[in-house]
Amino acid sequence: MFDRQILLRCACSLLLAVSYGSPAIAQLSPRYSDADGDLVADRPADSERWRDPRILVFAYTPVEDPALYSRVWDEFIVHMETLTGKEVRFFPVQSNAAQLEAMRAGRLHVAGFNTGSTPVAVNCTGFVPFAMMAAKDGSYGYEMEILTYPDSGINSPADLAGRQLAFTSPTSNSGFKAPSTLLDREFGLVADQDYRTAFSGSHDNSILGVVNGDYEAAAIANEVLRRMEGRDVVRADQYRSIYTSLTFPTTAYGMAHNLVPHLAEKIREAFFSFDWEGSALQREFADAGMASFIPITYKQHWQVIRDIDEANQTIYNCD
């Protein structure tokens, strides 16, 4: 059954509780401060609390094949090492909860958090997002789509009544929060009342689950679908899309709030000075139309996601 009180249980007993059905609260954990009102954690005023790690740990949002993505990011990691003078290690996270806990515990310094996890990361772990992938013309974003297999008999979201829909994880925007909200608001379908649910763990798993007939339908981020098609992992004739949402911001890239200023500056520089041309990063994200990193702010670019959380009456209990 879908639990309306979802606990992400992490390694050092940290509980990131995502509650639904209570008054909406979107604020930083008391362990952080926000004197400038940008909604993200300030660097500590006390320089004794700044961190200058010998090895920088970088993680990309959980995917079906973390080993593949470690190779995709190799050239970028070398570029970051050159600019920062630090060894940079890729951390192949297996779940959103593990990535959040690693940032919260100080074991993760630079990361790309998926769209829906970004508010949790900001509020509960001190994550400071500053970059996002974009096309050459500066456009960015992805849509949530609901997929089914060709002969499922599901032709519209309304047909999900009495059927099964796979989500990815409770913190995912396109893999949970957006689809569960729209199905309720637009079609009167409530999770585990009007349709059965499952959690696959990632967009890749949900897509493959639909293609292989393990799930009757799944809510996914179509940027992941485009990349999987580009690698010939799935074909367009293996699925049907029955719903496409408005456009959302994609993965947020950023760093821990408490890194020493000169290191934080070099990390930012690494993203905006990376040469995509001919890189593995360019090849991997070409099918999603991505060709550069652009500067972003959480306050501006994540407004639509915070609105969805507010509509869900979401509270992040970070302690």
Average pLDDT along the chain: 89
At residue 311, the pLDDT reads 77
Exposure string of 154-182, with b = 16+ CB inside 10 Å and e = fewer, is beebebbeebbbbbbbbbbbbbbbbbbeb
With respect to residue 286, please indicate whether it lies within any of the assigned structural domains. yes
Note the pLDDT of residue 80: 98
Would you say residue 20 has pLDDT above 50?
A: no
In a domain, 158, yes or no: yes
Q: What percent of the chain clears pLDDT 90, i.e. is strictly above it?
A: 74
Q: What is the mean pLDDT of residues 8-15?
A: 32
How far apart (Å, rounded) are the C-alpha atoms in residues 53 and 251?
A: 24
Q: Is 64 a residue whose pLDDT tops 70? A: no
Distance, first Cα to last Cα, the chain: 25
Q: How far apart are CA 156 and CA 152, in angstroms?
A: 11
**Per-residue pLDDT band at 7 (split at 50, 70, 90):** very low
Same domain? 260 vs 242: no
153-192 pLDDT tens trace: 999 999 999 999 999 998 888 999 999 999 998 999 999 9
Within 10 A of 21 (CB to CB), how many other CB atoms are there? Answer: 10
Task: Report, as an integer, the average pLDDT of 113-142.
Answer: 94
Q: Is residue 3 part of a domain?
A: no
Say what the pLDDT of residue 66 is: 67
The verdict on 118 and 266 lying in the same domain is yes
Q: Specify the higher pLDDT residue, 3 or 204.
A: 204
Q: Would you call 41 exposed, middle or buried from its count of C-beta atoms within 10 A (0-12, 13-18, 19+)?
A: buried
Domain match, 199 and 285 both: no
Query: Where is the domain boundary, 226, 248, 270?
Result: 248
Domain-ending residue, one of 225, 248, 271: 248
Do 203 and 173 share a structural domain? yes
Domain boundaries, position 97: 10-138+249-317
Q: Which residue has the higher pLDDT, 32 or 313?
A: 32
**Pairwise pLDDT comparison (283 vs 24), residue with the higher score:** 283
Q: Which range in 68-72, 94-98, 128-132, 169-173 is most confidently predicted, on average pLDDT?
A: 128-132
177 CB contacts (<8 Å, ≥6 apart)?
A: 116, 171, 308, 309, 312, 314
Average pLDDT estimate for 242-255: 94
Co-location of 98 and 153 in the same domain = no
233 in the same domain as 85: no
Task: For residue 217, give the CATH number of its domain.
Answer: 3.40.190.10
If asked whether residues 108 and 146 sit together in one domain, one would say: no
